[in-house]
Amino acid sequence: MFFKQFYDEKLAQTSYMVACQKTNEALIIDPMRVLDEYEAVAKAEGFKITQATETHIHADFASGLRDVARKFDATLYVSDEGDENWKYENMPENTVYLKDGDSIHVGHVELKVVHTPGHTPESISFVLTDHGGGSQEPMGIFTGDFVFVGDIGRPDLLEEAAKIEGTTEIGANAMFNSIQNLQKYDDFLQIWPGHGAGSACGKSLGAVPLSTLGYERHNNWAFNLTEKQAFIKELTSEQPEPPLYFAQMKKVNKVGLPLFEVKDIPVGTPETLAGQIFDLRSKEAFREGFVKGSINIPYNSKFLQFIGWFINYDAPMTVIADPAISETLQKDLASIGYDQLQLIVPEKEATRYFNDHYDSISATDFAKQYANTKNILDVRTTSEYTAGNLEKSVHIHYGHLMESDIPFTGEDDIIYVHCQSGVRSAMAMSVLKAKGYNNIVNVESGYNGIRVAMDK
């Protein structure tokens, strides 16, 4: 048997390839939309990608499931569990629909289907047994967003992101039962999860890429709360705010996306800039000059975690960036289901459009004048704000600023904006500027810097 784990650090998303080395057939589990890595590995190993499946309809990334069928003529296997609201649509005619107890065979490797609802109603896991290696005992289980290292999948995304009321409680009850159903398996069963640390699909995911059921029984909180109501309370409390793009992912992964292909994106400086404008330069460069109305999301390892809060999926996009990133940027945007990049304005030529800037203040200077400060906007997450905040501050998550009313009056009063360390507040400044707030100041070093300065 061949086994390989693929990890997308930008989305903390994990996918897998399993192959039978006797028949050279390969299966992809939870494929990402950009298929380059799978194709390269299959070619290097001499495999033919014949099948693909996924554990559920994903909310945090754009699935490549249908593209595997288009590109490799592979057979697709999808869950037929759950209610009618979460059935796959627009699937190939030869798609195989799976129920609890069914099996997928990749040559001499078997993946047994286990219905594990909770994160979503249709969620399934796959218990792998390598019959080709002579084993009758299962080696491991692909858990998707069911069990992670140190945590389990949140049950509230259908309610929080897809706005289906009442699903959190139903999902939490189902998750409790799904955890109990794992008791029949031995401790040595390996856990192969769908996400790692940094994913918003849980609240305390570990950074280790895999685990064992025995280890999770000892160390994962979900296996140590045996009273249902206590379990549900812990599971549904203090989950991170789901990015706004999650609702779009649930939709497109259910109905499908067109085949992704890299395009030649125009590069230039037209008279006017069309569509939504994102400035991918550093926050320091953006602060000194920018196009009013543009949103500053620096192009770094956390780019996708941030831009997903602000993308309008119905509008084309212009970016101010280095044209050399065109291909990687398209792939990144495709991974969250966006294919409408229209124009790249070279950052060295973008100054002709700049018509605004914003001011900053050091945490030390802010602390000195705090007693006489009226308007303070805290743009951190709810859990960060709850853990500690400035008494006079108003809290609005940075990702919700675009659609939120800013509760300050007095056009002449300065609004001081801070996050935890200064990164997200810089993005918030661009959003507030786009909304028409001009008398705003970013507090450098954020809450961390403010507390240090106040404690001196």
User: Are 288 and 405 members of one domain?
Assistant: no
Indicate the number of domains in the chain. 3
Do the domain assignments include residue 266?
no
User: Are 204 and 290 members of one domain?
Assistant: no
The predicted pLDDT at position 34 comes to 97
The predicted pLDDT at position 204 comes to 74
The predicted pLDDT at position 408 comes to 87
Which residues, 6 or more positions from 342, have their beta carbon under 8 angstroms from its beta carbon?
265, 266, 274, 275, 316, 317, 318
* Of residues 277, 273, 411, 285, the one with CA closest to residue 357: 285
Do the domain assignments include residue 71?
yes
User: Are 124 and 227 members of one domain?
Assistant: yes
User: Are 317 and 195 members of one domain?
Assistant: no
CATH number at residue 326: 3.40.250.10
User: Are 429 and 304 members of one domain?
Assistant: no
From first to last of the 456 residues of the chain, give the pLDDT tens digit: 999 999 999 999 999 999 999 999 999 999 999 999 999 999 999 999 999 999 999 999 999 999 999 999 999 999 999 888 889 999 999 999 999 999 999 999 999 999 999 999 999 999 999 999 899 999 999 999 999 999 999 998 877 766 677 789 999 999 999 999 999 999 999 999 999 987 877 777 878 999 999 999 999 999 999 999 999 999 999 888 889 999 899 899 999 999 999 999 999 999 999 999 999 999 999 999 999 999 999 999 999 999 999 999 999 999 999 999 999 999 999 999 999 999 999 999 999 999 999 999 999 999 999 999 999 999 999 999 999 999 999 999 999 999 999 998 766 789 999 999 999 999 999 999 999 999 999 999 999 999 999 987
Do the domain assignments include residue 265?
no
User: Which of 222, 255, 288 finishes a domain?
Assistant: 255
User: Are 193 and 224 members of one domain?
Assistant: yes
User: Which of 335, 353, 371 finishes a domain?
Assistant: 353
pLDDT tens digits, one per residue of 369-422: 999 999 999 999 999 999 999 999 999 999 999 999 999 876 678 999 999 999
User: Which of 304, 329, 353 finishes a domain?
Assistant: 353
Distance from chain centroid for Cα 111: 26
Do the domain assignments include residue 401?
yes
pLDDT tens digits, one per residue of 183-231: 999 999 999 999 998 787 777 787 899 999 999 999 999 999 999 999 9
Q: Give the separation between CA 435 and CA 284, rounded to whole angstroms.
A: 21
- Token pair, residue 186, equals 């031995």
Do the domain assignments include residue 119?
yes
pLDDT tens digits, one per residue of 272-299: 999 999 999 999 999 999 999 999 999 9
Do the domain assignments include residue 270?
no
User: Are 135 and 52 members of one domain?
Assistant: yes
User: Are 368 and 449 members of one domain?
Assistant: yes
CATH number at residue 201: 3.60.15.10
Domain that holds residue 165: 2-255
User: Are 225 and 331 members of one domain?
Assistant: no
Could you write out the three-class secondary structure of the chain? CEEEEEEECCCCEEEEEEEECCCCEEEEECCECCCHHHHHHHHHHCCEEEEEECCCCCCCCCECHHHHHHHHCCEEEEECCCCHHHCCCCCCCCCEEECCCCEEEECCEEEEEEECCCCCCCCEEEEEEEHHHCCCCCCEEEEECCECCCCECCCCHHHHCCCCCCHHHHHHHHHHHHHHHHHHCCCCCEEEECECCCCCCCCCCCCCCCEEHHHHHHHCHHHCCCCHHHHHHHHHCCCCCCCCHHHHHHHHHHHCCCCCCCCCCCECCCCCCCCEEEECCCHHHHHHCECCCCEECCCCCCHHHHHCCCCCCCCCEEEEECHHHHHHHHHHHHCCCCCCEEEEEEHHHHHHHCCECCEEECHHHHHHHHHHCCEEEECCCHHHHHHCCCCCEEECCHHHCCCCCCCCCCCCCCEEEECCCCHHHHHHHHHHHHCCCCCEEEECCHHHHHHHHHHC
User: Are 35 and 87 members of one domain?
Assistant: yes
User: Are 349 and 366 members of one domain?
Assistant: no
User: Are 220 and 310 members of one domain?
Assistant: no
Do the domain assignments include residue 44?
yes
Do the domain assignments include residue 261?
no
